Chain A
Amino acid sequence: MGKRLFRWVDERLGTSHFARKAFDKIFPDHWSFMVGEIAMYCLVILIVTGVYLTFFFVPASGEVIYHGSYKALQGARMSAAYASSLDLSFEVRAGLVMRQMHHWAALVFLAAIVVHLCRVFFTGAFRRPREVNWIIGVTLLVMSMMNGFFGYSLLDDLLSGTGVRVGYSIALSIPVAGEWLAFLFFGGEFPNTEFITRFFVLHVLLLPALIVGLLGAHLAILWRQKHTQFKGRGRTEDNIEGSRLWPSYAAKSVGLFFIVTAVIAALGGLAQINPVWLYGPYDPAQASAATAGSQPDWYVGWLDGALRVMPGWEIRAFGHTIANPFFPGAVLPGLTFGVLYLWPFLERRFTKDRDPHNLLDRPRDAPVRTALGAATLSFYTILFIAGGNDVLSSVFRVAPESITNLFRVLIFVVPVLVFLVTRSACRSLARDHVHPFGGTVGSRVRRTPAGGYEAVDDDDPPPAEATRADLVAEAYRRPAPPAP
């Protein structure tokens, strides 16, 4: 039956020719190549759960009175949107699991994208000929962050409404065009009745379509250019080593999909996320106990931290204001993503390296790049932690002022230290041929033609591109010496 169907299709489309070639396509076996796949599978989960939520969610700001089964909000006035997300949580069977899976999948999706980006950055996989895929990848990151923000904002609870207000205020602070931009994008002065419907269209239609389209391009380019690979014996710029798509890689990857989904399902059932019923409906004049000490989703935490550590400065001249939130809220992300987009070209300008690269760097092979990357990560990590300054201040019983002032210093000092330490660590690792997590493996030995072993002294280092794994692999591969 399957065979007849395949023949039927093939006679009309010639699929066998493509499939035959595709089955033999080689995929590298290194674990770090899996992270991008995790992101892709999270997107699948987001779409499936998101479509389900869309059947029940009401994207409208009109006021209703709640009569559902959640006692604490009985009789409360709220938007239809918020009421429908309460119904999704309490009335729709399986609705809460779907909602929580959707939210967890969003958190894991963005984490996987960021780790994937780090993998590409620290191994130099963005270099020629893969600049276009780097640019598409950064765009996917930006769009996914925005879509996460829009999704979070749809529910119109007290926390999300506060987040939308922050977004509106940042838009408002943009010089010259800010007022128009904010009014056109949000549909008028905040708070208003327009933005939920608008964000809904962006969240379930426009951005997912763009994300899926760009991901398609990302994968098509990957298919054409083939994967990069780490250096190793027998690996060159002109070949690729790994498993064939069929059957081992396909089975492993589908297995990964099931496992990722299993983890998200378990989280969605067992780990509460965004319990909107505790926050109450959005009310612009109210800061509930929940607003204090509450944190946004992790991937916008760095922006929240930046808003908090920014001192109370702004520019006022000639009857105009460039308001304070413009700098942490618009300039910082602009610079962040601007530098990310341009990185392949900036690096090329400094290294003068214009050659195509299919072989990856180990992070230590490029000490300055690795150190810059680590310093940048430390910068955003500190901003992220600074986003919890109120939590830290109540845990450690220190005035929020002192915590904020501390972060204002750390934000400059730590990245510099991280840069220096990482650079020298890379240099000494590269010199000593040590694996950072493996440690030294004692002295190296060599098999003698007679079949015995002898120690090799370290004045005779292995070829520069060989890793410890290669040496082990080589020991297995080398044909046994002829018996004497």
Chain B
Amino acid sequence: MPAERRIAVLLLASTLAALGLAGVYIAGGQPQAEGALLGVALAGIGFALILWARGLSSEGAVVAERGPLGGTVEDEEAVEERVEEVTEEPGRRSVLRLFWAAGGALALSAVFPIRSLGPAPGNALLRTAWRPGSRLMDTDGRLVRVDTLQVGGTLTAFPQGAEKAGDSSVILIRLEEGQLQPRPGRESWSPRGYVAYSKICPHVGCPVGLYQADTHELLCPCHQSTFDVLDGARPNFGPATRSLPQLPLAVDPQGFLIAQDDFDEPVGPGFWNRD
């Protein structure tokens, strides 16, 4: 087919596709058809242009001189001279220095509004919303009772009244009583086999949600750190460097699970002021 004919066919196809596209939109729209028709409409013009470009000029490769990039030495010297006329004169140099100082001070003061962009870290990273006596609440808003979980069961819990506190989620697991080897000082933290660990991975903060009951391991889905639930959630493998912080639990007289206190260490990823 001669080039003109091919170009004409392409442009015709493009026109039809464009009209079809408008039609599809008017008829209510359909993503696949929209994409395909837009593609055809554009490709028709694109290929037609490229075919057309071939016939536009028969001259083949053209060679041109580059010419010099840099200016002449006279140009350079002339510019330097004009600048130095102003800057190098003794009286003016001290004025110039004052201009620099004023500009620097202005720039410095312009940095301060950046401070408004966020609160001071303070102890936000050190504390969570858990308080002595906070009841545990699951994601459906039900309070957790001492008989809520079977042995081997897990759920995600928040402190009652602070369900939105992103740093306070815990994964609650019920083990066989006596299975857990509590760390020194944590003997009373796991009543009736209940143990609660922070759900925020100490690596970069993904929720550590996958509990493998046969190996008693918690797995973080983001970078595959694993934690040994029976041994204080010590990291077994992966980039996590610390154990998951453990929430001290107790059972209140009405049979609800409560926190004895906040975590005794910061939850989540490490930072400079963490020891």
Contacts and interface: CB of A to CB of B under 8 A. Distances in A.
A131 interface: no
A172 B64 contact: no
Contacts of A173: 269-271
Given A166-B204, A259-B46, A312 B57 contact: no
Interface in A160-218: 162, 165-166, 168-170, 172-180, 182-191, 194, 198
B31 A96 contact: yes
A312 B209 CA distance: 19
Chain A interface size range: 35 or more
A261 B42 contact: yes
A97 B38 CA distance: 10
B166 A259 contact: no
Nearest to A255: B49
A314 B46 CA distance: 54
Nearest to B70: A129
B223 interface: yes
Contacts of B59: 244
B99 interface: no
Contacts of A168: 205
B97 interface: no
B272 interface: yes
B36 interface: yes
Given A255-B47, A255-B53, A269-B38, A184 B117 contact: yes
A358 interface: yes
B46 A166 contact: no
B119 interface: yes
Given A94-B34, A97-B35, A169-B205, A189 B239 contact: no
B25 interface: yes
A93 B49 contact: no
Interface stretch (A114-122, A146-154, A283-291): A283-291
A26 B239 contact: no
Given A257-B46, A314-B270, A321 B53 contact: no
Contacts of B42: 258-259, 261-262, 265
A129 B56 contact: no
B161 interface: no
B159 interface: no
A266 interface: yes
Interface in B5-62: 25, 28-29, 31-36, 38-43, 45-50, 52-54, 56-57, 59, 61-62
Contacts of A187: 117-118
Contacts of A254: 49
Interface stretch (A234-242, A347-355, A367-375): A234-242
Nearest to B57: A248
25 contacts: A165-B205, A169-B204, A178-B271, A180-B120, A224-B69, A225-B69, A226-B66, A234-B63, A235-B63, A237-B66, A247-B57, A251-B52, A255-B45, A258-B42, A262-B42, A263-B43, A269-B39, A284-B200, A285-B156, A286-B209, A292-B221, A308-B224, A313-B241, A389-B224, A401-B224
Interface of B: 25, 28-29, 31-36, 38-43, 45-50, 52-54, 56-57, 59, 61-66, 69, 114-115, 117-121, 124-125, 139, 156, 158, 166-167, 169, 199-200, 203-210, 221-225, 235, 237-241, 268-275
